[in-house]
Chains A and B, each alone.
Chain A
Amino acid sequence: MTSFMPPADRNWWKVPVGRQELIWIAIALVWCIIMFLMMPLWHVYGKQNLSTEAYQTTPAKFGAKVEEMIGKYKVGEEAGLPIVAPPVGSDVYMLGRLWQWYPILKLKKNKEYRLHLSSMDWQHGWSLQPDNINLQIVPGYDMVLKITPDKSGEYSVICNEYCGIGHHTMVGKIYVEE
């Protein structure tokens, strides 16, 4: 009746709030604060935090760095793509373009690498499967993150940002060795 009528009391903001609402608001507020604190706490105690390191770049500049790495550390080829095994702890590069992730990386288990990601053309989604880590890859930005693969095996990188008609063919690889 009264949700669509003016409040019964002209000074409705002075009407005391009932116990039930107050208790619920208090409980909900505590939960909100806990959720809020979880994020900074995870930065201190958790291991999965996205770095904020990024640089403006251009497709030409980023592509040159990728080629330089391939030139130095190429160890093979698969499906027409170079396989690269860069040294532990080094800067490793992967680029997204229509429609591939390039090159294939071969990394060591439990070692840290500085992974650089960028796009040569449109936006792409770097989606590591089956681990399910997902990053937005934006042209013009070199995104740098420290990764530590903690399981060995064959990983796929699929694209999960729509990038045109060949979007579903964009599958890359990362090998993690003992």
Chain B
Amino acid sequence: MAEFRVCPDSGFYFHKSAESLMKVNAVVGIVALLVAGLLALGVVLTRWQEVHWLPADTFYMVLTAHGINALIFWIIFFEMAVLHFASSTLLRCRIATPKWAWAGFFLMLIGAVMNNVAVFSGASSVMMTSYVPMQAEPHFYLGIILFAVGALIQVFVFFGTLVVAQQEKTYDGSVPLVTFGAITAAIIAVFTIASGAIILIPTFLWSIGYVSHIDAEMYRVIWWGLGHSSQQINVAAHISIWYLVAGVLFGARPMSEKVSRFAFLLYIFFLQLASAHHILVDPGISTEWKIFNTSYAMYLAVLASMIHGLTIPGAIEVAQRGKGYTKGLFEWLRKAPWGNPVWSGVAISVVTFGFIGGITGVVMGTEQINLIIHNTIYVPAHFHATVVTGTTLTFMAITYLLIPVLFRRQLFLPWVAKMQPYVFGGGMTILILFMLGAGTMGVSRRHWDMDFAGAAMAFEYPAIAYTLMAVGAIGGVLGVVGGGMFLAVAVGSLLFGKKLEPSAGILESFAGKPLAASVYNIDKPEVLAMAPKLKEEHHKGFEAPGTFILAMLLLVTFVVYYFINWKYLASVWPLG
């Protein structure tokens, strides 16, 4: 029975069941992003002290819902679509056990709705971290558990699909690099979800009275195996997408398959140790444990990211130079398609993730430096650089590619799409930089009132802290506008975008129905061939000098900023 179609524009093959699953996972993810984005407005307009919009109880409820919808539901739903794409579509193979994948999807959906119901009822404003012994309603925990089980099922369907592809020999040689990166993400996801189950199932039992006590420190150590590692799924997923976009837009070939895959392997081995970043100023944790874990053994996952930071732009530079953009160091970069939101989104994402997210993450994850940063607003500033301008902007960029290919619609309001990465990336970068500054001044995260109204004793932040928070909030509002532009284009394209042949109606787009049966006219896609060989054996010299200069710029920034923070640490009270 013919179950495959080939996209006439991109040449990608889609298996009927896999295609439907990609659509529903992506669409529900984008709905979660819509919710998270609206809530973000409440957060920034309250933390902007001169506006101070929401009352305290609403603020904490909104902040809890914003965190969970953005960090968990939006990103993981979308990642499920990425996994099905990286397995079924890239390997040209049928998806394994689609019914199980649907079951996983519905469990995730039920879990996400259940958790949101708990939060919006107002009695579960416990933040995303839900630190015990502060207690949420039982269905808060149960929602996350169901969501995690559903995600785990879809991840195993992904693994199953890899097995199917290998058994049915749908590709020649090794899996593509992008699929290799997706496998990395999936392996980290299994670790993450297992950590979540180990701590949240007892916590759920505690919330309904079957367990009398959960140790607060134990909860923190295990919960962060979920909380931080889930963000490492994102890193592996969005870096895979960077490689994909480099290939699709520039025809770029990885500079070295070995180096890029080795870097992904380092992620599998070391990235999850970073959950220790959250435990650095906790009571009674040994110094050796902290140093080993917080540094990913010896910064080996940082090494991996620095490798990707060179090899992705490097691959693009080599491809561009091959097309004749060889003038000077940076003609290849100037001549990149800056008006194409797929490229501009990924480019802004690479820069902000590397220069801001990466560097601040390493600095505040340094055992002693964490003393001057823990729980200040520096922390959310850091992770907005990693998961918002990093992961979210990358997912937005790939959505612009998927709308014609997967959903068979032209982009609606293409001029809005063209500006969107700049507005969103620019606004969020302002938010991030100014929040980093405010955090350095000691401004607290998760805090309703920096005036401390009603406190028995007064404390005042320096006036500059208010200015930093206000400018940051303006950037945040701009970011919400940029997010709105994305949603207008994405949802608008599915509703009103011009249909491409073979065409998809609204129902096919939103409800994950396949296209007309006649579209699927391929029994068995052609076997995915190995990439064509290059003429010369391998490259020897400095083919990407511009990229090397950019990489050195990153390193210098990193070194200077790192030691500035040690200097700052040396100025506070001696303690030991």
Contacts and interface: CB of A to CB of B under 8 A. Distances in A.
Contact of A20 (B372, B528, B543, B574): B543
Interface stretch (A63-71, A87-95, A124-132): A124-132
B100 to A, nearest CB: 26
Nearest 6 pairs between A and B by C-beta?
A54-B284, A2-B531, A32-B299, A143-B283, A3-B247, A6-B173
B457 interface: yes
A65 to B, nearest CB: 16
Given A27-B555, A122-B131, A147-B575, A15 B284 contact: no
Given A20-B548, A129-B459, A163-B134, A150 B530 contact: no
B456 A171 contact: yes
A84 B286 CA distance: 31
Contact of B452 (A39, A40, A158): A158
Contacts of B551: 24
B308 to A, nearest CB: 11
Nearest to A17: B256
A6 B176 contact: yes
15 contacts: A6-B173, A7-B531, A21-B256, A27-B555, A32-B302, A42-B367, A50-B281, A51-B576, A130-B441, A132-B572, A134-B376, A139-B216, A145-B575, A168-B56, A171-B452
B217 A35 contact: no
B456 A100 contact: yes
A67 to B, nearest CB: 19
Interface in B511-548: 528-534, 538-544, 548
A51 B458 CA distance: 30
B189 to A, nearest CB: 21
A72 interface: no
A134 B375 contact: yes
A148 B450 CA distance: 28
Given A138-B282, A171-B457, 4 more contacts: A6-B174, A36-B295, A81-B456, A167-B448
A7 B453 contact: no
Contacts of B335: none
Interface string A104-125: 0000000000000100011101
Interface in A158-178: 158-173
A19 B282 CA distance: 44
B228 interface: no
A143 B205 CA distance: 29
B573 A147 contact: yes
Contact of B307 (A24, A35, A40, A143): A24
Nearest to B55: A165
Interface residues of B, number: 116
Interface size class of A (residues with CB under 8 A): 35 or more
B533 A8 contact: yes
A27 B522 CA distance: 50
A88 B543 CA distance: 65
B372 A133 contact: yes
Given A4-B247, A136-B374, A52 B258 contact: no
A34 B138 CA distance: 46
A134 B374 contact: yes
B462 interface: yes
Contacts of A134: 281, 371-376
B501 interface: no
Interface string A20-55: 110011011101110110111011001111111111
A35 B302 CA distance: 11
Contacts of A135: 281, 371, 374
